[in-house]
Chains A and B, each alone.
Chain A
Amino acid sequence: MMSFISYFINGLSLGSVYAIIALGYTMVYGIAKMLNFAHGDVIMIGGYVVFTVVSTMGLGPVAGILLAVILCTVLGVVIEGVAYRPLRMASPLAVLITAIGVSYLLQNIALLVFGSNPKSFTSVVTVPALKLLQGKLIISGETIVTIISCIIIMIGLTMFIKKTRAGQAMLAVSEDKGAAQLMGINVDGTIALTFAIGSALAAVAGALLCSAYPTLTPYTGSMPGIKAFVAAVFGGIGSIPGAFIGGLLLGVIENLSKAYISSQLSDAIVFGVLIVVLLVKPTGILGKKINEKV
């Protein structure tokens, strides 16, 4: 029983990371109607920035995370401006191939700069582990910080979208790009802002992910990125609470299947969930059904 609870809590922690990453996917998908394949690799870049600042330059973890957030935000906006903006009118296939290209580009730049040897990441979390029930149940500091930051981000983002003008502009653009433009909303600016927020969250997710799983390679981001997309689809793409629920569920499913079924098959199970969800309820748990107009 204790081990089940411990697996479950670890699953929540992993799920919180997925949820933070899934937010980036879901916001970009909601507004730009594109799957930003490179999102997972922004996480990896974030991880490397924190690693460089903390382990190589010897600065504190706070400086590392701040710098990572700034650099990833800039990176996200640059990617959007250079690679995606010219393709706003292109076919979805072309946009998707470009996004894959960007993802590949980031991976290979990281490979050239940092090499293929895994780097051992020092955790950015200094919170001590929590011992419950006379030490039978140990919850690591990383787990606590990850879950709490996920909740803070979720609340903050919901408030941002509900209360601020920029947030309202985002909603408007995601509803109808053309109409939003006619109402005087700067559509390109709003999309860039969405990428900025998504990438900043990716940097945070990168630091948290690498703290919990401390090996860092140029491919670190790609699997969690894809799984977070699964989480976003699971919860209903375009929906922020959906990303949260989907992320948590997926993290728990993955950790429990790793513990009780097979560690090699856990990825297959996670992807199996995606396929079942898409077949049974393609819009996800909280997604809205959109009728197609001819």
Chain B
Amino acid sequence: MEKSMKINFRLNKTLKSNIITYGIVIAAYIIVQLLVNAGQVSNLMKGLLVPICIYTIMAISLNLTVGILGELSLGHAGFMCVGAFSSALFSISMLDAIPNAGIRFFFAILIGAFFAALAGIVVGIPVLRLRGDYLAIVTLAFGEIIKNVISVVYIGKDASGLHFSTKNAMALNMAKEGTVIINGAQGITGTPKNSTFTIGVILILITLVIVLNLIHSRSGRAIMSVRDNRIAAESIGINITKYKLMAFTISAALAGVAGVLYSHNLSALTATQKNFGYNQSIMILVFVVLGGIGNIRGSMIAAVLLTLLPELLRGLNTYRMLIYAIILIVMMIFNWSPKLIDLRKRYFHKNRAEKERA
């Protein structure tokens, strides 16, 4: 009797925590909408609304890999890139076939998520056999490969369908009225601008539902057991590869969704070092680390704050990356240095003891 009560209480606790998380998103959405309607939001801030959604989704998605799966992925921007390009290609080539922007965008999101998930599986199968540092460097390598490959691809469309080449736009052999959609290093132009703040927030909520439910499911507990002790998890019959791949693929698919938002927020899209390179992956890692590794709500808040702050404090922009770097180092030393752990134990002794009991 007592035991079942305890379980009940536990469930309620996670449910409560989840409701708070959803509540924060919805409340933030309502407040922003009210401000926008009241004309209190500058154009600069309006332009930031969609990027905030994009980075929030990216941060949640990376936190699934880093915090819940416990593996460091440095190629997350690569999955975003796959989602962005596949969905933009879909949207442009279906511009006439599906005139309704809403339906087309819905399918574009599915397409982006699907191809990013596919990339996640292709990358994940070999990569997840590795551990730790190797995994980090290989995901980084994959991110770079994806970016490099996309910038040599040419895809065009005419009456007879899609044409594909890796040489140049002329090698597509299209009919006269054909148009080039992906023009190698020049990327994609003319993607319909379908991303809105409302859609972004809905996607954040969907992301949260997926990730939070995964964490508190049987699979989620299996994934976390692999993180905490791989050998122990394996010895009780948990299929490590399956759960690792599952978390990694879901994470990649969510990054793909962020990519769809990204590509449909810009009319011209190129795969450069700046937007889909290693730096972008690191920036998202900073969100995750600052928000708390494994803490979904925290990484959400960190993503919003760190996207807003540099824009609000223009003077800070030069030092932004410097500050990010210092955040990474200081957070890690603060969390792991034996001396600082002792210090914290002394000052917050009570809290800590309680936490350990829980």
Contacts and interface: CB of A to CB of B under 8 A. Distances in A.
Interface stretch (B89-97, B127-135, B188-196): B127-135
Contacts of B138: 274-275, 278
Given A97-B328, A104-B324, A104-B325, A271 B144 contact: yes
Given A275-B141, A278-B138, A279-B126, A90 B332 contact: yes
Contacts of B336: 86-87, 89-91, 94
Contacts, number: 128
B206 interface: no
Contact of B126 (A86, A100, A102, A278): A278
A265 B149 contact: yes
Interface residues of A, number: 45
A127 interface: no
A248 B136 CA distance: 24
B148 interface: yes
A151 interface: no
B84 interface: no
A109 interface: yes
A222 B282 CA distance: 13
Nearest to A270: B141
B165 interface: no
A156 interface: no
Nearest to A279: B126
A275 B135 CA distance: 10
Contacts of B37: none
A125 B262 CA distance: 47
A134 interface: no
A83 interface: yes
A112 B322 CA distance: 9
A89 B133 contact: no
A102 B329 contact: yes
Most buried by A among B152, B321, B332: B332
Interface stretch (A57-65, A141-149, A183-191, A225-233): A225-233
A52 interface: no
Contacts of B329: 83, 98, 101-102, 105
A108 B339 CA distance: 28
Interface in A6-42: 29, 34-35
Contacts of A29: 133
A282 B132 CA distance: 13
A105 B144 contact: no
Interface in A212-233: 222, 226, 229-230, 233
B70 interface: yes
Contact of A101 (B231, B326, B339): B326
A204 B151 CA distance: 34
Nearest to B324: A104
B318 interface: yes
Contact of A94 (B145, B319, B321, B335): B335
B137 interface: yes
A272 interface: yes
Contacts of B151: 264
B286 to A, nearest CB: 9
A93 B333 contact: no
A262 B328 contact: no
Interface in A108-127: 108-109, 111-112
B132 A92 contact: yes
B42 interface: no
Nearest to B234: A294
B333 A267 contact: no
Contacts of B133: 29, 34-35, 92, 96
B132 to A, nearest CB: 5
Contacts of A233: 134, 137
B99 interface: no
A268 interface: yes
Contacts of B144: 267-268, 271
A106 B10 CA distance: 46
Nearest to B71: A93
B325 A102 contact: yes
B59 interface: no
Contacts of B132: 92-93, 96
A102 B328 CA distance: 8
B199 to A, nearest CB: 32
B321 A111 contact: yes
Contact of B338 (A86, A109, A264): A86
Given A34-B133, A271-B142, 9 more contacts: A83-B333, A93-B72, A97-B285, A101-B332, A105-B325, A105-B326, A107-B321, A109-B322, A274-B138
Interface of B: 66, 70, 72, 74, 126-127, 129-130, 132-134, 136-138, 140-142, 144-145, 148-149, 151-152, 166, 185, 231, 278, 282, 285, 289, 293, 318-319, 321-322, 324-329, 332-333, 335-340
5 contacts: A93-B72, A96-B72, A104-B282, A233-B134, A278-B130
The 4 closest A-B pairs by CB, nearest first: A101-B328, A90-B336, A271-B141, A86-B337
